[in-house]
Structure 1
């Protein structure tokens, strides 16, 4: 039976991660979701696709915040950087948030939806106004590098870019909804606030998605919602929907003896023995 796997946050700026990725075996009949934070450069994404595309029948990709960083003053910024990444993926036959959503070959009622939603600083305490959010985090010693190298051009802010991505994505999901169809939603950032409560530094939640997706698993009937970003691999259920954090992470976040293969998460048909009653987060190490 064909399987659908997922992994995110492979961070190819680290040699250990690159070497582990190259050691990945072949899965000629299976599909892979690459859920963001491949690296910081086009070259790192190109390397990842050169390794993964020959190993899987189909690859799907969504961007993470690291992918959108601009570390070179001469490279395209904001939307232009994103479009360069999308173009590279499409040249390799990789499906992106800019492509039509695709039905799972084994089950035509299942729609795979790669999303790019960014974040809008709304995962913050109710007592902290939006305009004070970044300063609130800075007072705790948390200054995310996105504030320096993730440009929103041509939008005036990352907040504004996020609102536009939400608008576009909602329209697309609504357009393909039909009786009996279910989604596998794929994003880099968490859809809900729940997993953010486990972070050592809660201020990082500012750069970790948007509360506007809290109920998307119900608004858009969903089987599985996939995300990464947190480097906290785990599974939980809400309203019968499985939420999967699928990150690899920096070298200190994973065990070299397991290799990347040990961190591929089977999304579909999915893990056996779990039920929607397993509501609390189950961690994977």
Structure 2
């Protein structure tokens, strides 16, 4: 029995959609889907139809693309929190675990391990000290970088995405406080939980849309052994301060080798990598 993870399936890309349909069956294994299935409700249905047949259990967290409100006569025009809750209800109808459900316990051998799917956004805090939060978007725009979230990811009913992020952090901390310190904890989020994991070297100012510094303290305060994320489309395993960080994205067709199939990009989380990592080491995946 294994626990796998993948993110950023981007099923709106035809090659990704076809590759998902060809995914083999893993009837004894669990799968984490760490956000960005696609941009439409139809794409979520398509993906869950396949994955819930292929795996024993599926755990889902939303990505920013999933939360977009895309103008379309065929797409429900739900915004912000209402759209998120609509996605949660769809997942629950498939028996998929969401950030609103009790945290599942990994049934494998060894220490009791809690899997915590999270929905935590960003608050523009992944920025230089000399740039204020109010100036952050304009600072990024100076290099012709503006995330589509600014137009498509609505924070309704919150005043801003930062306010929504703060509310989600408050909610998440309340739930994580209930995890026993003797457990091992695996955190699952679409956005990176530590700034060092934001590898956007070609568009460095995109970092402001990649997470919040508030989550960095969780990695020290709670008994976290593994942190799983996607979003940046740079696949890697890092071992930092006793925590294994797994960026598990597939990405657009230019980001992965189609001959490997999606199965070639399923990251084994448990039992874990066959090659042990030393502190500070990085394992890259092409």
TM-score above 0.5? yes
Task: Describe the superposition over 1:85-106 as per-residue Cα deviations: whole angstroms up to 9, x where unpaired.
Answer: 0000000000000000011011
Task: Describe the superposition over 1:92-137 as per-residue Cα deviations: whole angstroms up to 9, x where unpaired.
Answer: 0000000000110114610000000011000001110110000000
2:69 is matched with: 70
What TM-score do the two structures reach when normalised by structure 1? 0.97
1:166 aligns with 2:165: no
Task: Describe the superposition over 1:166-185 as per-residue Cα deviations: whole angstroms up to 9, x where unpaired.
Answer: 0000000002x214201010
Aligned with 1:223 (options 225, 229, 232) = 225
Q: Is the 8 A contact 2:237 2:245 kept in 1?
A: yes
In the alignment, the residues of structure 1 paired with residue 172 and residue 201 of structure 2 have an alpha-carbon distance, to the nearest angstrom, of 28
1:134 aligns with 2:137: yes
Q: Is the 8 A contact 2:61 2:189 kept in 1?
A: yes
Q: Is the 8 A contact 2:242 2:279 kept in 1?
A: no
Aligned with 1:125 (options 125, 128, 134) = 128
In the alignment, the residues of structure 1 paired with residue 199 and residue 271 of structure 2 have an alpha-carbon distance, to the nearest angstrom, of 28
1:155 aligns with 2:161: no
2:285 is matched with: 284
Task: Describe the superposition over 1:184-206 as per-residue Cα deviations: whole angstroms up to 9, x where unpaired.
Answer: 10000001111225521111101
Runs ≥4 residues deviating over 6 A: none
2:244 is matched with: 242
> Where in structure 1 are there 5+ consecutive unaligned residues?
none
What TM-score do the two structures reach when normalised by structure 2? 0.96
> Where in structure 2 are there 5+ consecutive unaligned residues?
none
Deviation of 1:215 after TM superposition, in Å, equals 2.6
Task: Describe the superposition over 1:65-97 as per-residue Cα deviations: whole angstroms up to 9, x where unpaired.
Answer: 000000127510000000010000000000000
In the alignment, the residues of structure 1 paired with residue 126 and residue 181 of structure 2 have an alpha-carbon distance, to the nearest angstrom, of 32
1:45 is matched with: 44
Q: Say what the alpha-carbon RMSD is for the aligned residues.
A: 1.1
Deviation of 1:241 after TM superposition, in Å, equals 1.2
1:28 is matched with: 27
In the alignment, the residues of structure 2 paired with residue 220 and residue 44 of structure 1 have an alpha-carbon distance, to the nearest angstrom, of 35
